[in-house]
Structure 1
Amino acid sequence: MQLPIVVGVDGSDGSLRALDWGAAEAARSGLPLRVVHASLWEHYEGMRPAFDTGRPAEQVLAEHLVASAQERACRLHTEVKVITDVRPEDPVNALVHESHEAALVVLGSRGRGRIAGMLLGSVSLAVAGRSHCPVVVIPAAAPDAQPKPGRVVVGIGDAPGPSAAAHFALAQAASRRGELIAVRAWRCPAHETADHPLLAGSPAAAHRQQAADHLEEVLAVLERTGFETDVHRSVVQGPVHQVLIEEAEGAELLVVGTRRAGGHGPHLGPVNHAVLHYASCPVAVVPDTR
């Protein structure tokens, strides 16, 4: 059974961008596309269209919305199988439920209504933090320049081996016949000096070498997975979020991970919040259940 790519739509410009990205990804990967709209329309009272069908107007509009989205996706990619669903429930809960049986969940970074003017919509942020599968958040505006085809950027953290995000990023780069940029950010604590017992010579040089060695160890394991693609190393001094945002300029996709802690759901830390708000390319948030 092929798991679908799920796209959440709400009629906003952001969700149309997400729909187009999800349809293109479905065409590229050969997966079905599932278009979902969720809304608590039972909370709307006294709303009936002129052609009263006995159903809430919000439900009628929702069905029209997903039908239009289906038509758009089929027109863009005739080979993609498109399924639609309208769910009378909270959008976050509905999309998190969808993530149990999805290859990806794709969302726009901004929604409609009161949250439309926010830098990042509350639904996108909440789903990215609770999803059981990777979530791709599409920025509200297209980048100023065309991205380099197939370029995928992934952040490598402190974990001793490749994270789920690293595996996902390598698979994405390989399937796009592109390149993977593995980024390891590092910083030199201001209080350390050359007299530190673990450091010889320049403290900055020592920290950079530690970061480079760790990156090589992670990639040595990752590259044994069998995917054939060019992998480039980038060891950069600076705050992780700033380094990733800058490295992602000109990329097709930036990949970051979340960790489940103490039996709870994934937690979006400050780095993920920053890249979701400010990266110019789509951002994939990949849960790591280890």
Structure 2
Amino acid sequence: MARPVVVGVDGSPAGLAAADWGAREALLRDLPLRLVHAGERQPYSHAPPAGPEAAHRWSQGVPQEVTGRLRQLHPHLDITADFVIGPPRDVLCRAAEGAEILVIGTTGVGRLTGFLVGSVSMATVAHAEAPVVLVRAGGPGEQPLPDAESGPPPPVVLGLDLTRPCDEVIDFAFEAAAVHAAPLAVVHGWNPPPYDAYGLGAALKFGTDLSAGERDSVHQALRPWRDRYPGVDVAAQAVIGEPAHHLLDAAAHAALVVIGRHRRTTLPALPRLGHITHAVLHHCPAPVAVVPHG
């Protein structure tokens, strides 16, 4: 049985953006779409009807309303919708256990301040076992399906960390590029050691050698997937500096940004994400896929 693309919907504009993105992804991957709405909700930009019974009926109607809208747009898409009682993080993480991808929405609050990524979204990203895609309301994720006449597709961007095994992350990025018929831009940010013990000439040569070594390490890490996905056009770079800054620059016109999240076996109740993941989630305008690995 095919694993569905699962979308968390809540009646907000961000939830609708996530549903639209998830529907297009399900079509591209030839997978069913499952919409899930949890009984306990985050605050919305608009209030539900007054009273607990009316609010409960409103919650139950959210997935059905979104389903009707998507069926009009994509009549051939296999869509199911569920209203599930429980804390949103727990509901979404359980739904992710049988999902190909989990999609949730986040709210845009301005270019300078970044995006509003709520506690439920962050906790879901930190705990879900499936890749989680965060989609911005009004962001570039709200685009039509690829069209041969619309020009070259925007790239999928992969943030590559060579300090730990990340096969799941690389595989997800290559598959996403293949599914979207898009080029893959691989960004590996790194920082050389200080050169206090070297003269200027030795430091420059040492830095050049290190740069060549980093580029070679990137190409070696990608080689198995280049062979597995020969149709994907790959451009890889190893750049000095803060990885998040380089990723955000590359993501300005990306279809999707792919980053990894290391699985932790201790302190499972605490959502722990690295500073690079935090920076990308809060400031990247494109949809971001966080892939658990390790």
Going from structure 1 to structure 2, the CA distance change for 1:93 and 1:224 (only over 3 Å counts) comes to same
**Helix, strand or coil at the partner of 1:66:** helix
One-letter amino acid matched to 1:69: V
Unaligned runs of 5+ in 2: 42-49, 109-113, 144-150
Instruction: Work out which of the residue numbers 205, 230, 234 in structure 1 matches 2:233.
Output: 230
Identical aligned pairs, as a percentage? 32
Going from structure 1 to structure 2, the CA distance change for 1:193 and 1:217 (only over 3 Å counts) comes to farther
Contact 2:5 2:102 in 1 (8 A): yes
Q: CA deviation at 1:160?
A: 6.3
Asked if 1:128 corresponds to 2:121, the answer is no
Contact 2:226 2:232 in 1 (8 A): no
Contact 2:14 2:136 in 1 (8 A): yes
Which deviations, in whole Å up to 9, do the C-alpha atoms of 1:202-260 show, x marking residues without a partner?
A: 34323322220110110112223345211111222210111111111211000000111
Partner of 1:179: 183
Partner of 2:213: 210
Going from structure 1 to structure 2, the CA distance change for 1:101 and 1:264 (only over 3 Å counts) comes to farther
Partner of 2:93: 96
- Over the aligned positions, Cα root-mean-square deviation in angstroms equals 2.8
Contact 1:133 1:286 in 2 (8 A): yes
Asked if 1:261 corresponds to 2:254, the answer is no
- Correspondences of 1:79-228 after superposition (within 5 Å): 79-110=76-107, 119-143=116-140, 149=153, 151-159=155-163, 162-194=166-198, 201-226=204-229, 228=231
The number of aligned residues is 272
Contact 1:188 1:203 in 2 (8 A): no
Partner of 1:114: none
CA distance in 2, matches of 1:149, 1:242: 23
Going from structure 1 to structure 2, the CA distance change for 1:230 and 1:83 (only over 3 Å counts) comes to same
Unaligned runs of 5+ in 1: 49-55, 112-116
Going from structure 1 to structure 2, the CA distance change for 1:186 and 1:118 (only over 3 Å counts) comes to closer
CA distance in 1, matches of 2:264, 2:285: 29
Q: CA deviation at 1:161?
A: 5.4
Q: CA deviation at 1:168?
A: 0.2
Q: CA deviation at 1:182?
A: 1.2
Q: CA deviation at 1:39?
A: 2.1
CA distance in 2, matches of 1:21, 1:134: 15
TM value normalised by structure 2: 0.84
Partner of 1:276: 281
Asked if 1:5 corresponds to 2:5, the answer is yes
Contact 2:18 2:135 in 1 (8 A): yes
One-letter amino acid matched to 2:245: Q
Asked if 1:73 corresponds to 2:70, the answer is yes
Instruction: Work out which of the residue numbers 54, 62, 72 in structure 1 matches 2:59.
Output: 62
CA distance in 2, matches of 1:110, 1:126: 16
Partner of 2:148: none
TM value normalised by structure 1: 0.85
Instruction: Work out which of the residue numbers 232, 247, 252 in structure 2 matches 1:249.
Output: 252
Asked if 1:26 corresponds to 2:31, the answer is no
